[in-house]
Chains A and B, each alone.
Chain A
Amino acid sequence: MEQLFFYIFAAIAVISAICVISLRNAVHSAVFLIVCLLQVAAVYILLRAPFLAAVQVFIYVGAVMVFFLFAVMVLDLGTEKLKQHIHSQGGPAVVIVAAMSAVLGYYALKGSITAPLGEYNEAALARNTEVIGRSLFTQYIFPFEVVSVVLLAALIGAVVLVSRMKAGGGR
């Protein structure tokens, strides 16, 4: 049963990802990216991480994709011509990507888990959000603070970029 749902989510995710990179209208690409990200959230639920699924829906689908759609709207791109759509290096790029995925797939299928298992088994992950929150504020407090500084820097950077544009005068 779980496997059936995994295959459904995976198929929709991959098909919509292919639509993202092949459609010519940027708005359609953004909508298919939203579909793909929702399937990834469903995959997190299959991995017993409902907190990650919620974060995925809030941040990716809620914030990042709205930002993308906003950018598409501001730039007013419309539909591209067929010639503008694909880079001239497209043919070799597809060959290289196919070779890369063959190598990665070989190693992904060949490998097996040899590392010792940790303490967070299925029973401990039942209270997923509580476990994650506890370790975020104890074991991982330093990276947590660093990442908040990163977010602050990104915020200030975006504001500085926009305000410099205003000072430059109608560019």
Chain B
Amino acid sequence: MLTLNHFLILSLALFSVGVAGVLIRRNIIIVLMSLELIFNSVNISLAAFSYYLQSLNGTVFVIFNITVSAAEVAIGIAILVLVYRQRRNVYVDELNGMKG
């Protein structure tokens, strides 16, 4: 029998991996992918709460979440391409100037 805890622990594992990716990696694209992992872990826990509380709020929230994360990726990658055109690198610790 699957319980809520199974899904919460899976969500926690994906969340931890995502946070580790954001903190550890230097490449911005990998950092954005780690953000997607974090989004997905949150979506899993929302859907699990929605199922086990027999409510529809979590499911609808997941749909909005997916929409917002698609918008975030579009803007993020557009900015990333612009930064790469100007600076010729994609490493987060070398992008430390405020004015291009």
Contact between B63 and A97 (Cβ–Cβ < 8 Å)?
no
Q: How large is the interface on B (under 10, 10 to 19, 20 to 34, 35 or more residues)?
A: 35 or more
A47 to chain B: which residues have CB within 8 Å? 7, 47-48, 50-51
Contact between A109 and B5 (Cβ–Cβ < 8 Å)?
yes
CB within 8 Å of B: which A37-55 residues: 37, 40, 43-44, 46-49, 51-52, 55
**B54 partner, pick from A14, A94, A120, beta carbons under 8 A:** A120
Separation of A131 and B48 alpha carbons in the complex (Å): 17
Q: Does A75 sit within 8 A of B, measured CB to CB?
A: yes
How many Å from the CB of B62 to the closest CB on chain A?
Answer: 6
Give per-residue flags for A134-150: 1 if the beta carbon is below 8 A from chain B beta carbons, else 0.
Answer: 01100010010001001
Query: What are the nearest 5 A-B pairs in CB distance?
Result: A21-B21, A154-B71, A118-B55, A93-B23, A101-B16
Residues in A lying within 8 Å of B, measured CB to CB: 2-3, 6, 10, 13-14, 17-18, 20-21, 26, 29-30, 33, 36-37, 40, 43-44, 46-49, 51-52, 55-56, 59-60, 63-64, 67-68, 70-72, 74-75, 77, 80, 84-90, 93-94, 96-98, 100-101, 104-105, 108-109, 113, 115, 117-121, 125, 131-132, 135-136, 140, 143, 147, 150-151, 153-155, 157-158, 161-162, 165, 171
